[in-house]
Amino acid sequence: MLLQVDPAPAKFSVERVSKTFRRGRVETHALDDMSLSVRQGEFVCLVGPSGCGKSTLLDIMAGLCRPDSGHVLCDGHEAGEAGPDRLVMFQEAALFPWLDVTGNVMFGLKLRPDLTRAQRREIAGHYIGLVGLERFARAHVHELSGGMKQRVALARALAPDPDVLLMDEPLSALDAMTREQLYVDFQRIHAESGKTIILVTHNVREAVCLGDRVVLMSPRPGRIREEFAIPLARPRDVNSPELARYATDITVALKDYMGEDVAE
């Protein structure tokens, strides 16, 4: 018998996932037979117009919502209920206002009984440093800017060392300057931490700037239409012409699928 060895087995995968929402008599077919496989350390961006089910897919991947059919696998095992193996950055930073910056980053760590208090402090301090907020370790949440809040949310999601980091449009509520700075930081942190990251966005340039792969989704029902490998060297500059060329190609493809949707 020939033993076939996959050179890079999937760290995380979604297999044949479908989801339909019912509200009264209205049925929304959010996801149809979706499959996606992500390698260890890969940064994958899901792009699509609003209503293409990308946030639903992210909720399913996080275990916050059950698919009607299909599987979510982490290291080859059924991922099941939400848990610290898959942590999420949401569109809002969703920091807890009753805790300061360190308290927020420690939240997940305090749920790890195997760590000592000193270890938790050290880990929290490390990640607060990684996102560049050493000086704000004791700051209150309402004193932070939008970009700083998302940095704290990133540190909070990284601290418990999840297998996969899921990001649900975490930069869409920020101003352009802050966003560009965070593109630089996300790339650096991805390189340093080697995390497997899945980012959902509707911003094509953002996806090209951050992703090793950009996966295009189309709406009603949500389907994967096309995948683009982005072989550009890192760190990437979101304003570079090469990056713009990739973004243009993807945007054209995206518009095709949307046109198809309108025609239907």
Q: Footprint of another protein on this chain (CB under 8 A)?
A: 62-64, 81-84, 86-88, 90, 92, 94, 96-100, 107-108, 111, 140-143, 160
* Closest C-alpha among 173, 165, 164, 126 to residue 146: 173
Please, which residue, 55 or 203, has the CB nearer to another protein?
Answer: 55
Please, which residue, 82 or 232, has the CB nearer to another protein?
Answer: 82
> Which residue in this structure is represented by tokens 């990437």?
236
Q: What is the largest CA-CA distance in the chain?
A: 63
Alpha carbon distance 198, 145 (integer Å): 25
Q: What are φ and ψ of residue 187, in 5° steps? A: -65, -45
Minimum separation from the CB atom of position 195 to another protein (A): 15
Alpha carbon distance 212, 81 (integer Å): 28
Which residue type, as a one-letter code, is found at position 98?
W
Beta bridge partners of 118: none
Please, which residue, 21 or 107, has the CB nearer to another protein?
Answer: 107
Minimum separation from the CB atom of position 145 to another protein (A): 13
Please, which residue, 13 or 55, has the CB nearer to another protein?
Answer: 55
* Closest C-alpha among 110, 107, 103, 209 to residue 157: 107
Minimum separation from the CB atom of position 123 to another protein (A): 14
Alpha carbon distance 94, 79 (integer Å): 24
* Closest C-alpha among 173, 183, 194 to residue 240: 183
Please, which residue, 83 or 221, has the CB nearer to another protein?
Answer: 83
Please, which residue, 109 or 216, has the CB nearer to another protein?
Answer: 109
Burial class (CB in 10 A: 0-12, 13-18, 19+), 152: buried
Minimum separation from the CB atom of position 116 to another protein (A): 18
